[in-house]
Chains A and B, each alone.
Chain A
Amino acid sequence: MIRNDDSELVKLCLAGDKLSFGLLVDKYQKPIFNIIYRMCHNLEDARDIAQRVFIRAFQRLDTFDCNKKFFSWLCRIAINESLNFLKQQKKMVEIPVSMPIGEKGPEQMLDGNEQREQMRKALMEIESKYRILIILKHFQNFSYDQMSEIMHLPVKTIKSRLYSARQKLGQILVRNGMISYD
């Protein structure tokens, strides 16, 4: 039997079947890790936060409304944990935009592309409330309805905030010379 229905897995988990939670981790660890990594841009921090997110989710499974999407609920926890982390670290404006010497991010390892490094820096320059919308829309390919569900904001607000986010990011990329009009 293939147990791939999230609500069903949650119910089994609540009934004490911990293997079901393992299946949920299998299914969502990658997108959740990516959201967190894009927010904090540090692999070790992303790992710690992702671990915390899934454990928090496990602890609060009884508060999950099975009529809603589990992934949206999990994303909300991931976003909250990421924002809390950034606040605690007081790194909102101080996050280093370059990694320590010798430490390579996965994008650099992929092909050492300067473009991606520039994009990474630019993303870290915009406020987290804007950054998260870029991540959800352009890295996770969420629809506006899904984003609205995750962020607990009306679609109209999501759209207008995302438009501002893109505008801010564009300005940074132009300023940094990543986009030119030659």
Chain B
Amino acid sequence: MIKSKIIKLINRQLDGELSEKEAAQLSQYLKQDQEMQQFFNEQERMISYLNAVPEVDPPSDLKETIISGITEPANPESGKNKIPVFEIQSWFTRNRLRIIISHAALLIIGFSLSAYLIHPSQPQRVLDISQLSGTIGLEQENLVEPDFGQTYNLKIYSGQIDLKQNQTQVWITFKISPEMVFKTQLIYDASQLHFQVFMPSRTENISLQTTENILSISASGSFILLFKRIINQKSEVQIEIGNVQLGSERFELVVNQQ
């Protein structure tokens, strides 16, 4: 079989499109051709790396800036369109320094707030969730004298949260250090619960229970101490609903220097 055909078969195999018969045929070819076997391995490994790349969160105020960008009419003279035509407010795109300053200010405010429980009745920018209640806590296990390469467990427990929204998102954030931030997203949408895990290669257990508008959460995660930089830094676990931080708990990893 000519190589281009084998390459096509390899690609179809990587996309999960081969029948059992075709897959067996490919396997036979690969046994006889070391170069093609190497190519297959290379492609397979590359795809596994690609699949392991996590999603990136958009800036929390992206929606706000989009909506604010469509408030002013761009061409008031034009009345031909069925819909109003709006001007793009390019302030953000033009003035990067101001963006940086505003981001820095937001970060400072965010960090200051994260040390405390934010009262749930604070204004919410995205989701209309009212009457949040409950307590967030953190059970620490094996956090004394941690060592590199070891796995440590964190357990979060919470009380109950009243949901007044058909769909909402709950984020559990493990801020082990500035270099290690894991986010676990739980999505609740009235009829079903599902969660998406942003802690690749790590284990966690999340349980959610709902009765009417009550969502109960308990979650645990583990992490492996990988970086020397994180020793003796204050770490934090946060629970957020939408943009509202419901609770956070700080803990400290103390390592005996070797």
Contacts and interface: CB of A to CB of B under 8 A. Distances in A.
Interface of A: 2, 13-14, 16, 18, 21-22, 25-26, 29-30, 33-34, 37, 43-44, 47-48, 50-52, 54-56, 58-59, 61-62, 106-112, 115-116, 119, 134, 138-139, 159, 162-163, 166-167, 169-170, 173-174, 178-179, 181
Interface stretch (B24-32, B77-85, B110-118): B77-85
Nearest to B66: A54
B87 to A, nearest CB: 9
B105 interface: no
Contacts of A138: 47, 50-51
B41 interface: yes
Given A51-B69, A51-B93, A106 B46 contact: no
B76 interface: no
22 contacts: A14-B82, A22-B67, A26-B63, A29-B58, A29-B66, A30-B55, A33-B56, A34-B58, A48-B93, A50-B66, A51-B66, A52-B93, A54-B66, A55-B66, A56-B88, A110-B198, A112-B226, A112-B227, A119-B53, A163-B8, A173-B46, A181-B42
Contact of B49 (A50, A108, A115, A167): A115
3 closest residue pairs by CB, A with B = A33-B58, A138-B50, A54-B66
A179 B178 contact: no
B99 interface: yes
B143 interface: no
Contact of B88 (A52, A62, A106): A52
Instruction: Place the interface of chain B in its size category.
Output: 35 or more
Nearest to B178: A109
A25 B67 contact: yes
Nearest to B198: A110
Contacts of B55: 30, 34, 139
